Amino acid sequence: MRSRTTTGLALLTGAALALSACSGGDVPEPGDGGNGDGNGDDGSSAEVTLDFFTDKAAWEPSFEDMNTASDGLAPQLSFTGYSDPTAYDAFIKQSFRTDERPDLFTWHTGDRLGELVEQGLVAETTDIWDQAIADGYVSEDLAANYTYDGKQYCVPLNVVYWVIYYNQDVFDEHGLDVPTTWEEFTAVANTLVDAGVVPLHQMNIIFEFVWFQAILAGMDPEAYDGLSDGSVSYTDPTVVEAMETWHQMQSDGYFIDPGVTTDPQTLLQTGETAMAYFGTFFTGQLTDLGMVSGEDYGMFVLPSVDPGLADTPVVVETGPLCVGTDSENEQAALDYSAWWMGTDAQSAWSDSRGDVSFNPNATVTDEALAEITAQVTGDGYQQLRRYLEATPTPIYTVAAEEFGAFVTNNDDPMGHLEAIQAEADAYWADQG
């Protein structure tokens, strides 16, 4: 395997946080169903080496582990990693204007994947998704992130479930149990405020939107989804109520001063904040500090704001692994994508990354992460797209500015919502 790593500018800590054998024969065998293009002399795609490009240069050791896991079962990857995401995006877009289209590459869901789909640049993967869903390797909720005009494109590289992390010592000191309802959650926060402990972390940059996401999704998942397609206005009563709830939480002292620049993992370690709402990538940040899952910290799914919801919403962040249309090894790359969805592949990936997998049958070595995966992929939970990916880019750009200002000033929510809706009106009018 050749390795070429393109270095770029160092990313801010917060930005780094933002990015963080086929089982049972149910996944199609390499080479099945294709036209033979890109396969080896004997028709086996397992003998092919794919040109693989990613903006996750630091993950190269894990992709080396995957080459070991796929040996003889699926194609090998020739890794090219970029550290600068802007340079990477420009490279991928430029490559489609040449004859050197990437066999396999990582990308983004939401608008940016939709753009490639509309231009016919990524291969359809509907058959792979249908099989994986039938085999129980992936949920239909997750498929929504990869669906355009009723068809799927790409497969998930990884998933991140957004949950609450908490400092175990702080909870023990104040006799707190893990809350299972919103009422219990606010009771925990009030107890901590009364004891002079800041309950929750919050940022006014990068992750300024997450408490809007958490509260509205937990109050009305349909309204949350409706913002993504313009069927719901940011000034609708439910959305206003969610912002008012957030406003009250800030007024009640639930959040740390957003101007604090200390890393959130350090704030949780020291107990300066008792809890933090982050994706499961946060486990790696805590591990780097020497914190032990189940001893120094725990995690739980944020309860629904509305106790009457049939299913508890869980926000999912996911990034795609895509096959370039008309690339030299297109069929072999599709075969690799099918193998990637399987239990053995995902167990190897989870073991290498120390992270969760989208496949609930995969072995996850961290017990707490395994429990979260089993919980949110089981009955009684609804997976929703993260706000950043669910929201059209022009609207998100304005929303990020408005939510950042709201977190900083804790002022009247209505003006911020009206500013976002003005951009939403303009955007949806252009869509015709």
- Give the phi and the psi of residue 49 in degrees, each rounded to 5: -105, 125
Residues 215-267 pLDDT 10s: 999 999 999 999 999 999 999 999 999 999 999 999 999 999 998 999 999 99
Q: Higher model confidence: residue 7 or residue 368?
A: 368
Residue 376's Cα: distance from chain center in Å? 14
Among residues of the chain, what percentage have pLDDT more than 90? 84
Domains in the chain: ranges and CATH: 3-160+316-379 (3.40.190.10), 161-315+389-430 (3.40.190.10)
Residue 31 pLDDT level (bands cut at 50, 70, 90): very low
Q: Tell whether the model's pLDDT for residue 214 goes beyond 50.
A: yes
pLDDT of 7 reads 36
Rounded to an integer, the average pLDDT of 287-305 is 96
pLDDT per position as a tens digit, 90-140: 999 999 998 889 999 999 998 899 999 999 999 999 999 999 999 999 999
Q: DSSP string of 257-320?
A: -TT--S-HHHHHHHTSEEEEEEETTHHHHHHHTT--BTTTEEEEPPPPSSTT-SSEEEEEEEEE
CA distance 65 to 329: 22
pLDDT of residue 168: 98
Q: Phi-psi region for residue 200, left (φ > 0), alpha (ψ -120 to 50) or beta?
A: beta
pTM of the model: 0.85
Exposure string for 342-356, b = 16+ CB within 10 A, e = fewer: bbbbbbbbbbbbebb
Whether residue 372 is predicted with pLDDT greater than 90 in this model: the reply is: yes
> Which pLDDT score is estimated for 14?
39
pLDDT-based confidence at 5, cuts 50/70/90?
very low
Question: In which band, very low, low, confident or very high, does the pLDDT at 354 lie, cut at 50, 70 and 90?
Answer: confident
